[in-house]
């Protein structure tokens, strides 16, 4: 199937779709709750539990609890967009025939998915900014050691979760199923990836489960440049590979449907 | 009627879903500026046929050419030249009417001013309403406006007036005729016989994946349902002699009420003959067969509502 589109037109299409998608996401209460409010509430809980403990045994990779959690929660924000918001959104598009309408207007599938990723990046950036502001204003969290490194890890993380969300949206049967599966995956990841209890207090089993899920890798990839351990090439590579595989799978799956 | 320039050519189209044959063998041509109707009951294969024309489905057999292009392999060249009002296709719940129009206008190479469409299709008041809050009729009109926003040369309307109230249907019909007058070719999928008869230059009656009749509505009626009835009140007058007129097949009487069965110009002949004999009935009227009768005659069943 030859459906080439002039690059400038394609870019314009992606931007227009992105703008509309952003507005749609912002009108969706799930977004407000899981992308903006929930990470702050959780960060507050973590701060109240661990942030004030003096001389605790838990080291948080040698830093204060909040220096550890703030970059980790950037990953949590991206994960909530990828596994909670996008799958429900896209299964709705598929089931309701919204995708057919785009196809009938000869809008290529990749521009539709590209717009989801672009919108996810903007929303994730907003959510992360809130997390950072909250950590800074309430707990006096330091600035990152390597801001560029954090930014790169953040983009890779968000694209990775957006691609996973697109794939889930292609494979799951209906919006409710997608929301259920997404919430399940989100909470499992939350507890085993260092975003809930610190890694040091987790059992070996929890750690192992975490290592098989993308959020744990995102958390380390984000924390390393933030805390001054430099770029973590291997974690970034894992995330990039997952992102590519999920994108490829999603594009193929949507073509079949 | 031979169309001036063929813009859609479908030859021996065949489409099978798993074990069901949706389209057995369908061939037709549509000329530029034609309003071409595809008539049939649910499941007859109408929607599948036009979805193949729109490039949404790949045919299993036969060939399709739209504006000289293959809708599957040369889809890119058709972008913006064919507009589709899809059946059973939603928009995101939170999308506003104007946002939908602006988005699809922006995705087309040479779009119309969507604000004018908003007014023409009676959506001006609903401009900022979300898709979820629209009534069935309003959604339908939005879908038609979306199909037209790319200023297409061909527009495919699938069950366009389903969900519209009678007044809105009439407005829609006027707008479709206007559209054709401006040069657009219209493919109208419908199961409303009055709509097809009123709007279409030619119709294809589809039954079980095949075209069972194709032609202008009037010609189809003449061919498949030629029976014309002329009805009037005659009092005690003897009208048996009417049987001797050309184009009259039978004259029946129920009390004062006379029914003349015939075909073609029977109304004019009966009227002239009555007047010539000095009898001028006040209630002379004709009951013409409609496409509904054609459909019934061809398929043996009514199209379901």
What would the pLDDT profile of B126-136 be if each residue is shown by its tens digit? 999 999 999 88
Please give the structure tokens belonging to residue B64. Answer: 């399709």
3-state DSSP assignment of residue B92: coil
- Band of residue A86 on the pLDDT scale cut at 50, 70, 90: very high
Residue B225 · residue B297 · CB < 8 Å: yes
Distance from CA of A11 to the nearest CA of B (A): 11
The Cβ-side half-sphere exposure at B281, using a 13 Å CA radius, reads: 23
Instruction: Check residue A3 and give its pLDDT.
Output: 46
Q: Look up tokens 């049939």; give the residue.
A: B40
Picking from B54, B88, B90, the nearest residue to A104 by CB comes out as B54
DSSP run (H or E) holding A16: helix A7-26
Q: Say whether pTM exceeds 0.90.
A: no
CATH, range B6-81+152-222: 3.40.50.300
Q: Tell me which chain B residues have a C-beta less than 8 angstroms from the C-beta of A104.
A: 54-56, 84, 86
3-state DSSP assignment of residue B148: helix
CA distance B161 to B170: 9
Please give the structure tokens belonging to residue A185. Answer: 């995956």
Does the beta-carbon distance from A24 to B55 stay under 8 Å?
A: no
Does the beta-carbon distance from A106 to B90 stay under 8 Å?
A: no
Domain ranges of chain B: 6-81+152-222, 227-288
Does the beta-carbon distance from B86 to A105 stay under 8 Å?
A: no
What would the pLDDT profile of A45-57 be if each residue is shown by its tens digit? 988 888 765 656 6
Instruction: Check residue A150 and give its pLDDT.
Output: 96
The Cβ-side half-sphere exposure at A137, using a 13 Å CA radius, reads: 8
Report strand pairing: B82-85 vs B228-233. Answer: unpaired
Does the beta-carbon distance from A97 to B99 stay under 8 Å?
A: no
Q: Tell me which chain A residues have a C-beta less than 8 angstroms from the C-beta of B103.
A: 16-17, 20
User: For all residues of chain A together, what is the average pLDDT?
Assistant: 90
Q: For residue B110, is pLDDT > 70? A: yes
Give B7-46 as a DSSP string: EEEEEEEEEEETTEEEEEEEEEEEETT-EEEEE--TTSSH
Please give the structure tokens belonging to residue B148. Answer: 């037209």
Does the beta-carbon distance from B95 to A3 stay under 8 Å?
A: no
Residue B196 · residue B31 · CB < 8 Å: no
Instruction: Check residue A2 and give its pLDDT.
Output: 39
Does the beta-carbon distance from A1 to B107 stay under 8 Å?
A: no
Which architecture, in CATH terms, is B227-288?
2-Layer Sandwich (3.30)
Chosen for mutation from A90, A101, A169 (greatest number of chain B CBs closer than 10 Å) is A101
Chosen for mutation from B107, B152, B159 (greatest number of chain A CBs closer than 10 Å) is B107
Instruction: Check residue B300 and give its pLDDT.
Output: 80
Report strand pairing: B154-158 vs B82-85. Answer: parallel
């Amino acid at each position: 199937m030859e459906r080439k589109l002039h690059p400038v037109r394609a870019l314009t299409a992606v931007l227009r779709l992105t703008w509309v998608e952003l507005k749609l996401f912002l009108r969706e209460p799930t977004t407000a709750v899981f992308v903006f409010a929930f990470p702050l509430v959780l960060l507050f809980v973590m701060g109240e539990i661990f942030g004030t403990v003096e001389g605790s045994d838990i080291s948080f990779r040698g830093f204060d609890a909040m220096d550890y959690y703030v970059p980790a929660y950037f990953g949590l924000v991206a994960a909530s967009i990828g596994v909670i918001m996008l799958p429900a959104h896209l299964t709705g598009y598929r089931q309701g025939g919204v995708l057919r309408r785009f196809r009938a207007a000869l809008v290529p599938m990749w521009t539709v998915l590209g717009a989801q990723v672009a919108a996810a990046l903007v929303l994730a950036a907003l959510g992360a900014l809130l997390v950072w502001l909250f950590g800074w204003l309430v707990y006096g969290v330091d600035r990152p050691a390597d801001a560029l490194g954090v930014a790169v890890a953040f983009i890779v993380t968000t694209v990775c979760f957006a691609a996973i969300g697109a794939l889930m949206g292609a494979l799951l049967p209906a919006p409710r199923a997608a929301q259920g599966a997404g919430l399940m995956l989100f909470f499992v990841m939350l507890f085993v990836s260092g975003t809930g209890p610190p890694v040091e207090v987790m059992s070996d089993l929890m750690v192992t489960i975490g290592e098989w899920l993308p959020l744990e890798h995102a958390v380390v990839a984000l924390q390393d440049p933030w805390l001054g351990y430099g770029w973590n090439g291997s974690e970034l590579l894992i995330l990039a590979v997952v992102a590519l595989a999920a994108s490829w799978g999603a594009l193929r799956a949507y073509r079949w449907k | 009627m031979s169309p001036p320039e063929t813009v859609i050519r479908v030859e021996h189209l065949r489409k099978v879903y798993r074990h069901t044959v949706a389209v057995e063998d369908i061939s037709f041509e549509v000329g530029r500026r034609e309003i071409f109707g595809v008539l049939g009951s649910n499941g007859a294969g109408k929607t599948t046929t036009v979805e193949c024309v729109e490039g949404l489905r790949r045919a299993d057999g036969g060939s399709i050419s739209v504006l000289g292009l293959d809708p599957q392999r040369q889809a890119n060249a058709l972008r913006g030249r064919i507009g589709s009002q899809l059946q059973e296709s939603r928009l995101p719940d939170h999308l506003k009417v104007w946002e939908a129009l602006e988005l699809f206008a922006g995705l087309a190479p040479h779009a119309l001013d969507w604000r004018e469409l908003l007014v023409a299709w009676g959506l001006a008041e609903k401009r900022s309403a979300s898709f979820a809050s629209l009534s069935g009729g309003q959604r339908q009109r939005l879908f038609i406006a979306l199909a037209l926003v790319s200023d297409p040369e061909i527009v495919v309307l699938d069950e366009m007036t389903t969900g519209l109230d009678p007044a809105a249907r009439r407005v829609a019909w006027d707008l479709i005729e206007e559209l054709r007058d401006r040069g657009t070719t219209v493919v109208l999928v419908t199961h409303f016989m009055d709509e097809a008869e009123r709007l279409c230059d030619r119709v294809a009656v589809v039954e079980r994946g095949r075209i069972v009749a194709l032609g202008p509505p009037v010609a189809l009626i003449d061919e498949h349902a030629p029976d014309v009835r002329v009805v009037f009140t005659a009092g005690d007058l003897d009208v048996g002699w009417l049987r001797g007129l050309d184009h009259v097949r039978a004259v029946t009487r129920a009390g004062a009420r006379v029914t003349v069965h015939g075909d073609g110009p029977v109304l004019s002949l009966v009227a002239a003959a009555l007047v010539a004999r000095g009898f001028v009935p006040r209630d002379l009227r004709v009951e013409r067969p409609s496409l509904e009768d054609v459909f019934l005659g061809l398929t043996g069943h009514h199209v379901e509502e």
